[in-house]
Amino acid sequence: MKLFVLNGPNLNMLGIREPDIYGAQTYSDLEKFVRNVCEREDIEVEVFQSNHEGVLVDTIQSAYGNADGIVINPAAYTHTSVAILDALKAVALPTVEVHLSDVSQREDFRQISYPAMACLEQIKGLGFQGYEKAILLLKEHLAKTI
């Protein structure tokens, strides 16, 4: 079983500012956390981060034939990107959307998620644990379908 874990713009800045919203840990801590969970669960993983919408679309497309599922935190593109939604629909892989913060309790502009329309579930407000929950959810889902 292989997963792609994709992170969108500014998540590489984690731990540098706004620790009250996103926590004090860094992006490198997040990557380590995801790798540890996947190793424990015997899942192969590739972890990506990009600040560029087109690169995220290219990476989603490259999951086709190369991964069984996708965990994605599209960051700010969550609220704007029909291109990311279309890419997820195009590859049609089981996908879970994750947000570190509870976007439902934040500004109005964060209340829409385009990618969520192509996702099994949206997990929000659990910090790094949200990625673990998403990985376990995909593992369970794929065990029934592969």
* Contact residue for ligand CA2 among 100, 116, 123, 138 (CB under 6 A): 100
Report yes or no: 57 and 48 within 8 Å, Cβ to Cβ: no
Three-class HEC string of 81-117? CHHHHHHHHHHCCCEEEEECCCHHHCCHHHCCCCHHH
C-alpha Rg value of the chain to the nearest Å: 14
Told to check if 111 binds ligand CA2 by CB under 6 A, we report no
* Contact residue for ligand CA2 among 49, 50, 78, 95 (CB under 6 A): 78
Would you say 24 or 90 has its CB closer to ligand CA2?
A: 24
Told to check if 103 binds ligand CA2 by CB under 6 A, we report yes
Q: Is 52 a catalytic residue?
A: no
Told to check if 76 binds ligand CA2 by CB under 6 A, we report yes
Kindly indicate which of the ranges 38-46, 57-65, 72-80, 83-91 contains the residues binding ligand CA2, using the contact rule CB under 6 A. 72-80
Told to check if 134 binds ligand CA2 by CB under 6 A, we report no
Continuous H helices in the chain: 19-22, 27-40, 53-63, 82-91, 129-145
Record the tokens describing residue 110, joined without a space: 């964060």
Per CB under 6 A, residues contacting ligand CA2 are: 10-11, 13-14, 16-18, 22, 73, 75-76, 78, 99-101, 103, 110
